[in-house]
Amino acid sequence: MRELRLTRLGCGTASIGNHRVPLTDGEAAEILDAAWDAGIRHFDTAPHYGLGLSEWRLGQFLAGKPRDEYAVSTKVGRLLEPNPAGAGALDDEDFVVPAAYRRVWDFSAAGVRRSLEESLGRLGLDRVDVLYLHDPERWDLDRGLADGLPALVQLREEGLATAIGIGSMGTEALVAAARSGVADLLMVAGRYTLADQSGAAELLDACRANGVGIVAAAVFNGGLLAEPLTASSTFDYRPAPGAVVARARRIAEVCESFGVPLRAAALAYPLLEPVVRAVVVGANNPDQVRQNAADLALDVPQGMWERLRAEGLVA
């Protein structure tokens, strides 16, 4: 198997698929340029992001870049089928793109292979570094893993993916994949963060026992840890419960007492755990990319983590 090299900070590319905010091709390229200039060589995408737009824009950007200098992860489980009736409407899953395609769940061996082949076409690549089953719990977890994981194993054996696993916000799905005996890497979205370690003990134990690595995504929990905390703060892109905001506010107070911005602490926290290989963060503009890189480079005092643990604010 090829060596899997991931930079500690990865670039999530839902935003260049027009997630909630429309971007031009030029604006998307500026975000990716800023990531490359910041030393980021790990890019995560999916067909789901903008109905293939994210993959296409990432492929345009990577064209001509030395293939051994970067790692790309994408996902399978949602096939894109033509939807002529939707061409005049917008996608209804938070991406500001024409609904010219519709997503169809398919974790079968044929569906997984077709999804990857179509992704490789958009990306302009002959292989990916990491291939994840995407949100199997949102369809049928047992069937998704039973059908999808063996399909990923076959693609890994053929050299079309260096590492395989699942990407999910669901702890049950992530633990099951870690215990499957075939996963190399899990993308843990929003469930191992400074604000949310729900199920982390079981998940980390399963990963350690089975030699599975973690890529921590959505480490700002959909806004909560990325912006000044207010009563209107969001958690997983929805209004945050008052108790969640209050806890995050106390975390922020401890961090600030050590001179560490909350955003920087949110980026650094998952990487304290040895099984975490990288954090992946998206951005809506180049300045956010540069800020993320600068925040992760900050020196965070060990005493801050000790204080947070002593107050029961983190595991």
Tens digit of pLDDT for each residue in 196-238?
Answer: 998 899 999 999 999 999 999 999 998 899 888 887 799 988 8
Token pair for residue 186?
Answer: 């899990």
Q: Which helix (H) or strand (E) holds 43?
A: strand 42-44
Q: Which helix (H) or strand (E) holds 171?
A: helix 171-178
Q: Can 49 be counted among the known catalytic residues?
A: yes
Residue 1 has pLDDT above 80, yes or no: no
Please report the pLDDT score of residue 199 as a whole number. Answer: 85
Is 314 within the bounds of a domain? no
Please report the pLDDT score of residue 201 as a whole number. Answer: 94
Is 4 within the bounds of a domain? no
Q: Which helix (H) or strand (E) holds 278?
A: strand 276-281
Range from 24-33, 49-58, 79-88 carrying the lowest mean pLDDT:
79-88
Neighbour count for residue 159 (Cβ, 10 Å): 11
What is the C-alpha separation between 292 and 19, in angstroms, rounded?
19
Is 235 within the bounds of a domain? yes
Closest CA to 314 of 259, 230, 254: 254
Closest CA to 130 of 4, 35, 270, 39: 4
Amino acid letter at 128?
A: V
What is the C-alpha separation between 47 and 42, in angstroms, rounded?
17
Tens digit of pLDDT for each residue in 141-185?
Answer: 999 999 999 999 999 999 999 999 999 999 999 999 999 999 999
Is 75 within the bounds of a domain? yes
3-state helix, strand, coil in the chain (%, to 5): 45, 20, 35
Please report the pLDDT score of residue 228 as a whole number. Answer: 83
Is 1 within the bounds of a domain? no
Selected catalytic residue, list 49, 70, 132, 269 = 49
**Where in the sequence is the domain holding 37, given as residue range(s)?**
9-309
Q: Which CATH number goes with the domain that contains 223? A: 3.20.20.100
Average pLDDT rounded to a whole number, residues 113-134? 98
Tens digit of pLDDT for each residue in 20-42?
Answer: 999 999 999 999 999 999 999 99
Is 78 within the bounds of a domain? yes
Please report the pLDDT score of residue 170 as a whole number. Answer: 96
Tens digit of pLDDT for each residue in 240-253?
Answer: 999 999 999 999 99
Token pair for residue 55?
Answer: 């993959």
Is 228 within the bounds of a domain? yes
- Cβ–Cβ < 8 Å for 214, 188: yes
Q: Quote the number of domains for the chain.
A: 1
Q: CB-based contacts of 293: which residues, under 8 Å, 6+ apart?
A: 9, 38, 39, 40
Residue 157 sits at φ, ψ, to 5 deg, of -65, -30
Is 2 within the bounds of a domain? no
Looking at the whole model, is its pTM more than 0.85?
Answer: yes
Average pLDDT, the chain: 96
Closest CA to 214 of 247, 190, 194, 238: 190
